[in-house]
Amino acid sequence: MASEFSESELEAYLEEALDPIRAAEIEQSMRSDKKLIARLSFINGRRDAGIHTLGEIWRQNQIGVPAREEIESYVRGDLVEEMADYVHFRLQVLKCRFTSALLADIERQQETGEFQAKQSRRERYVKSSAGIVKGKRSPEK
């Protein structure tokens, strides 16, 4: 039934930003529900005309998707609690494909050792530039 899917879900489906399980449910329903196909066509036509919902704009611009560094901190377990809760919410409740893709990429890097090499490199850069930054400061008067 077309009514079991919200407009937001259908918009996300068209943008390929919907949870894969829910997207499969929409695809299954489209096979027998002409009203659902009509709703999707209407949404697509509206978007082609340049009329976008706030949700579409957020998804298209990935507003609210945590930065890669924040996901890395989440994986390490040293993200501030509120932000960790937010990342968890995006992963578990929203099932955000963009956040999930970042997490999967970071986990893949961990498995191959790329993540540790990157962290080590970052630490060396910070340590090597610490003296330079201190030397550039002007003396306080």
Instruction: Output the pLDDT for position 89.
Output: 95
One-letter amino acid for residue 35 of the chain: K
How many domains does the chain divide into?
2
Residue 139 has pLDDT above 60, yes or no: no
- Residues 31 and 50 both lie in one domain: yes
Placement of tokens 């890669």 in the chain: 68
Q: Is residue 134 part of a domain?
A: no
pTM above 0.75, yes or no: no
- Residues 72 and 124 both lie in one domain: yes
Q: Is residue 141 part of a domain?
A: no
Task: Determine the structural domain holding residue 112 and report its residue range.
Answer: 68-129
What percent of the chain stands above pLDDT 70? 82
Instruction: Output the pLDDT for position 115.
Output: 61
Q: Give the C-alpha separation, 2 to 32, whole Å.
A: 10
